[in-house]
Amino acid sequence: MNLKDRIIVITGAGRGLGRAFAEGCAAADAKAIVVADINPDWGEATADLLRRSGAEAAFLPVDLGDPASIESFAAAVKTRYDHVDGLVNNGAIATGIGGKTFEDIDIETWDRVMRVNVRGTWLMVKALAPLLRASPRGGRIVNLASDTALWGAPRLLHYVSSKGAVIAMTRSLARELGPDSITVNAIAPGLVEVEATEYVPEERRQHYVSGRAMSRLQYAEDVVGPVVFLLGDGAGFVTGQLVPVNGGFVFN
C-alpha cells in the first residue's frame, strides 16, 4: 500500500472520487501526483490541497473528449517527468445523464459519453504509454468501470455501455502491455456518495443500500484502498482483473 517514489497521474481528479484517489496516493507517500481535470478551478483546488498536505502535486488541464488536448497533456507531463509509474483513468461523464430509457437517449449525448468515457480512456493510455514503459518499477494502469455494467442498470444505457467497454478494454490492454511490465486493472464501484451522483433519485440510492451485503451508503474512501493497492508493488502480478467495490451489491 506504499507508493514511495511513484509518480501518479489521475484524470478527473478535481473532485469526488478522483480527488479522493489523489489524497489516498499522497497519504501512501507517492513521489508526485499529476492532477488532470477539464475544470481548472477544481483541478487547482485539488493540487493546492495536496501541496498543503506536504505532497508534490501539479494540475494540468485535459479534455478527454479532445484528442489534441490529450496529446498536449501528455507532452506537458513529459516536460516535468521522464517517466510515469501509475495512471488512474477516473475522468468520465456521469452527471445528469441518467433517467432516460434506451429509446429516449439522444444520439448526441450517446456519442459524447462514448467519446469521453471510452475513447478518452484509450487515448490517455496511448498518450502516456511511453512514459509508463519508462517506469523503473513497472507501470500501473487502473481504469474506473462501474458495477452498473455488471448488473445492467436500466435507464442509463449509454453510461452502462461505456463502462462495459472499459472493462473489455482493460482485459485487452493487459495482454498488450503485459510484455512491458505494465499492469492494467479495473475497479467497479457501486453508487458512491460524491458530487457526480447527487442527481441520482432516492429510489435508486435505496435500491443499492437494500441490495448490498453491507447495507449502507458507499463513500469515496471505500474505493481508495483498492486503487492504491493496484498502483503499488503488491499488485505487480495482478493484471486484466475487474474488482467490484460495492459492498456486495453484485459479486464478480
Q: Which residue numbers are catalytic?
A: 159
Distance between CA 8 and CA 141 in Å, rounded?
A: 10
Distance between CA 32 and CA 170 in Å, rounded?
A: 25
Cα angle, residue 83 at apex, residues 185 and 36 outer, rounded to 5°: 65
Q: Which helix (H) or strand (E) holds 58?
A: strand 57-61
Q: Which residues are CB-contacts of 238 (< 8 A; sequence separation ≥ 6)?
A: 183, 185, 230
Q: Which residues of 182-195 are buried (b: 16+ CB within 10 A; e: fewer)?
A: bbbbbbbbbbbebe
Distance between CA 233 and CA 155 in Å, rounded?
A: 39
SS3 34: strand
Nearest Cα neighbor of 15 from 220, 228, 244 is: 220
Distance between CA 210 and CA 214 in Å, rounded?
A: 9
Quick count: other Cβ atoms within 10 Å of Cβ 100? 14
SS3 246: coil
Q: Which residues are CB-contacts of 181 (< 8 A; sequence separation ≥ 6)?
A: 135, 138, 139
